[in-house]
Amino acid sequence: MQTLNVDLGARSYPIYIGSGLLQRVDLLVPHLPYKRAALISNETVFPLFGTRLLENLTRSGVETVPVILPDGESYKTWETLDRIFDALLLHALDRKSTLIALGGGVIGDLAGFAAATYQRGVPFIQIPTTLLAQVDSSIGGKTAVNHARGKNMIGAFYQPKVVLADTDALKALPQRELCAGLAEVIKYGLIRDAEFFSWLEVHLDNLLARDAVALTHAILRSCENKAAVVAADEREQGERALLNLGHTFGHAIETALGYGEWLHGEAVAVGMVMAAQLSCERGHCTEADLRRTIAILERAGLPIRAPAIAAERMLELMQLDKKNDSGKIRLILLHRIGEAFVEPGVERTQLLEFLGRVNTP
């Protein structure tokens, strides 16, 4: 087992990474202020891992209420969030009760937002079961639900008490989900870790084959990068914005197509290609860096071309991005592989022309 720490002073918390950790309720119980909890999962994950976890928690003396939600990005809504609140109120969970998120990014976001708002804040724990959630969404305290007009537009910053990432859970992950998670892994190399990017180029086939050693290294290195950025800029006032490379384009794609049509990692992959293309066109990064970016994402089984969405629609959705400032669209672009930066404002006409070329219906 590897242990990292997200350094946030009094709100610091550990990230445990390793094999067989879903059996280690001893890693969870010390973070329960009161032995009462709600286990929030979905219809796909709960039969795989939730039943055993529920039994182990009960044996440890933790009274646990299961809350099983439908599976999919399309259910990351206020209506689904309300189902969590219904269960918490029905079973009279109080402020010392803990919410445990068992699942991918959707479950983590829903449980985290519920924890942030139920009785003005209760403890919660992240147990991510997808690669994307293990390397990204479970760490850092971003919680949200989607809105028809924009992704993750309603939410809160709210940190977990502990993150437990069991690499064995990835054995059950569909290949498409594994590839989507690799998009976020590759992102860390692009934005701040050129050495890791080079390692990924060499070991990508091992990751796609689910080699345990390679996966553990990739998860650990990704979490190290995420933890360092979150510790330096918890509420995205500066450096943390770099973690959104490709997300301004990607979130617009997800919203335009309908949540769940493309996986988040797939949309981010195309968004990173678009960001690299725009960076190259504006003289920030080289053609060689653009080619390497496209090549590794394509090898990872990810889309590299934008879907047919009208430029005006893409721009309309990009204008809702949370990084925007005073009406200006802020983008994360690349100086080179391993060094991203915030572009404070690209002219609307320039963006429309660019989107018209790469997103022609």
Q: Is 171 a catalytic residue?
A: no
Q: Which of 76, 83, 151, 251 is catalytic?
A: 251
CB 33 within 8 A of CB 98: yes
Please confirm, yes or no, whether 142 is among the known catalytic residues. Answer: yes
Superfamily name and number for 175-358? Dehydroquinate synthase-like - alpha domain (1.20.1090.10)
Per-residue pLDDT of the chain (361 residues; tens, 9 = 90+): 999 999 999 999 999 999 999 999 999 999 999 999 999 999 999 999 999 999 999 999 999 999 999 999 999 999 999 999 999 999 999 999 999 999 999 999 999 999 999 999 999 999 999 999 999 999 999 999 999 989 999 999 999 999 999 999 999 999 999 999 999 999 999 999 999 999 999 999 999 999 999 999 999 999 999 999 999 999 888 899 999 999 999 999 999 999 999 999 999 999 999 999 999 999 999 999 999 999 999 999 999 999 999 999 999 999 888 777 767 888 999 999 999 999 987 888 999 999 998 875 5
Whether 247 contacts 152, CB under 8 Å: no
> What backbone phi and psi angles, to 5 degrees, belong to 18?
165, -175
Question: Active site includes 203?
Answer: no
Q: Which two tokens stand for residue 12?
A: 């610091």
284 is catalytic: no
Handedness of CA 231, 236, 241, 247 (dihedral sign): positive
Catalytic residue among 73, 184, 254, 343: 184
Residue in 99, 106, 104 with CA at minimum distance from that of residue 145:
106
Is 240 annotated as catalytic? yes
CA dist., res. 6 & res. 309, Å (int): 39
Q: Give me the catalytic one of 83, 142, 192, 322.
A: 142
Name residue 143's beta-bridge partners. Answer: 156
Rounded to two decimals, the pTM is 0.95
> Which residue do the tokens 């008490």 mark?
161
The closest alpha carbon to 128, from 32, 42, 233, 11, belongs to 42
Q: Which of 83, 187, 192, 226 is catalytic?
A: 226
Same fold, 2-172 and 175-358: no
> What is the amino acid identity at position 204?
L
Q: Tell me the backbone φ, ψ of residue 261, rounded to 5 degrees.
A: -65, -50
Beta bridge partners of 322: none
Q: In this structure, what token pair is assigned to residue 171?
A: 């054995």
What is the C-alpha separation between 312 and 256, in angstroms, rounded?
Answer: 11
Task: Write 172-178 long-range contacts (CB < 8 A, 24+).
Answer: 172/48, 172/129, 173/129, 173/130, 173/131, 175/301, 176/263, 176/301, 177/104, 177/130, 177/131, 177/132, 177/263, 178/131, 178/208, 178/210
Q: Which of 53, 75, 79 is nearest to 65 (CA)?
A: 53
Of the residues 221, 264, 292, 323, which is catalytic? 264
Active-site entry in 42, 146, 225, 244 = 244
Determine which one of 247, 284, 292, 330 is catalytic. 247
Domain ranges for the chain, please list them: 2-172, 175-358
Catalytic residue among 236, 254, 266, 343: 236
Our answer to whether residue 251 is catalytic in this structure is yes
Yes or no: domain 2-172 corresponds to CATH 3.40.50.1970: yes
Name the CA dihedral angle for 21, 24, 27, 31, rounded to a multiple of 10 degrees. Answer: 110
Is residue 311 within 8 A of residue 355, CB to CB? The reply is yes
